[in-house]
Amino acid sequence: MLTAYDFSMARIVDEAGIDVILVGDSASNVMAGHETTLPITLDQMIYHASSVVRAVQRSLVVVDMPFGSYQGNSKEALSSAIKIMKESGGHAVKMEGGQEIIESIGRILTVGIPVMGHLGLTPQSIYKFGTYVVRAKEEEEAQRLIDDAKALEAVGCFAIVLEKIPAQLAARVAEMVSIPIIGIGAGNGVDGQVLVVHDMLGINNEFNPRFLRKYNNLHEQMMQSFQSYIQDVRSGDFPNESEQY
Ligand code: KIV
């Protein structure tokens, strides 16, 4: 799984053969420049998701339910999920949290909307955690995470993202539940992996967590391209004879 937030990127990600495209609320960070994922709205998520859906031929498109769109009560959660499905054309939603949101997940599932869970580091709760460090290192929190994963499976989630937890714990969870576990910073004992596309392409050269493998250095390549363009325009080299009518 990889994230995408716009038509052009989603088209390439889909063509490359990625199974699942996540329209993550990380759009709040990488697209809008916010410090957290909290500010992004339901309508903004729908805008990103519908752009992605228009590009996709084969991938499953999962859309993050943004902060504030499902935590209030299950009725509100259901109407947010329905709005996402109706207006974006996405195929499933993702929600952060465990037993505390089970009722909402159950209600969304009853109308036929598939739900992906998300446990471990859940960025929408950053002000509760206070930091983005690895979660569930202590036994008590690890046990709560295991219980939450079992509850998400029991209610009917089709997969769970585990973010930034010890690899051993993630592997234990993957063995305990039968639905796919998709990890980010959760080691390789799980069933799948997810990365934020801007991070794995190396667009942001200031974000270098241990779990991130950069498959490119687009920051440098884009910088070089933009600087070459500036130079070519200033020098009169661009456009040349074959680049004009
Ligand atoms: O919003 C997002 O991109 C995510 C992934 C990091 C799993 O939730």
Ligand 1 site, residue 63, Cβ cutoff 6 A: no
The CA radius of gyration of the chain, in Å to the nearest whole number, is 20
Q: Please identify, by atom number, the ligand 1 atom nearest to the C-alpha of residue 195.
A: 6
Which two three-digit tokens encode residue 89?
A: 């054309």
Long-range CB contact pairs, 131-136, < 8 A, 24+: 132/164, 133/164, 134/164, 134/165, 134/166, 134/185, 135/163, 135/164, 135/165, 136/165, 136/166, 136/169
Provide the pLDDT for residue 205. Answer: 87
By C-alpha distance, which of 49, 89, 37, 42 is closest to 70?
42
pLDDT tens column, 117-169: 999 999 999 999 999 999 999 999 999 999 999 999 999 999 999 999 999 99
Which two three-digit tokens encode residue 160?
A: 């769970």
- DSSP code per residue over 83-137: HHHHHH--SEEEEEBSGGGHHHHHHHHHTT--EEEEEES-GGGHHHH-S-SPP--
Task: Kindly report the average pLDDT of the chain as a whole number.
Answer: 98
Q: Which of 15, 87, 100, 163 is catalytic?
A: 163
Residue from 5, 28, 29, 37 whose mutation best tests the ligand 1 pocket (most atoms within 8 A of CB): 37
Mean pLDDT of 47-56: 98
Provide the pLDDT for residue 177. Answer: 98
Residues of the chain with pLDDT > 70, as a percent, come to 100
Catalytic residue flag (residue 163): yes
Q: Please identify, by atom number, the ligand 1 atom nearest to the C-alpha of residue 196.
A: 3
Provide the pLDDT for residue 187. Answer: 98
By C-alpha distance, which of 43, 39, 46 is closest to 23?
46
Residue from 161, 199, 200 whose mutation best tests the ligand 1 pocket (most atoms within 8 A of CB): 161
CA-based diameter of the chain, in Å? 70
Ligand 1 site, residue 160, Cβ cutoff 6 A: no
Which two three-digit tokens encode residue 174?
A: 């993957």
Which residues are 184's β-sheet partners? 163
Q: Please identify, by atom number, the ligand 1 atom nearest to the C-alpha of residue 26.
A: 1
Could you state, in order of their start, the residue ranges of all structural domains in the chain? 2-214, 218-245
Q: Please identify, by atom number, the ligand 1 atom nearest to the C-alpha of residue 1.
A: 7
Classify domain 2-214 by CATH number. Answer: 3.20.20.60
> Which residue has a Cα nearest atom 1 of ligand 1?
24
Ligand 1 site, residue 46, Cβ cutoff 6 A: no
Residue from 48, 184, 203 whose mutation best tests the ligand 1 pocket (most atoms within 8 A of CB): 184
Which residues are 95's β-sheet partners? 117
Which residues are 116's β-sheet partners? 94, 159
Q: What is the dihedral of CA 143, 149, 151, 154, to 10 degrees?
A: -140
> Which residue has a Cα nearest atom 5 of ligand 1?
24
pTM above 0.85, yes or no: yes
Residue type, 207: F
Question: Ligand 1 center to residue 31 CA distance, Å?
Answer: 13
Q: Is the dihedral of CA 13, 185, 67, 83 positive or negative?
A: positive
pLDDT tens column, 163-200: 999 999 999 999 999 999 999 999 999 999 999 999 99
Question: Ligand 1 center to residue 38 CA distance, Å?
Answer: 13
By C-alpha distance, which of 69, 77, 66 is closest to 37?
66
Which two three-digit tokens encode residue 139?
A: 């036994």
Ligand 1 site, residue 24, Cβ cutoff 6 A: yes
Mean pLDDT of 96-124: 98
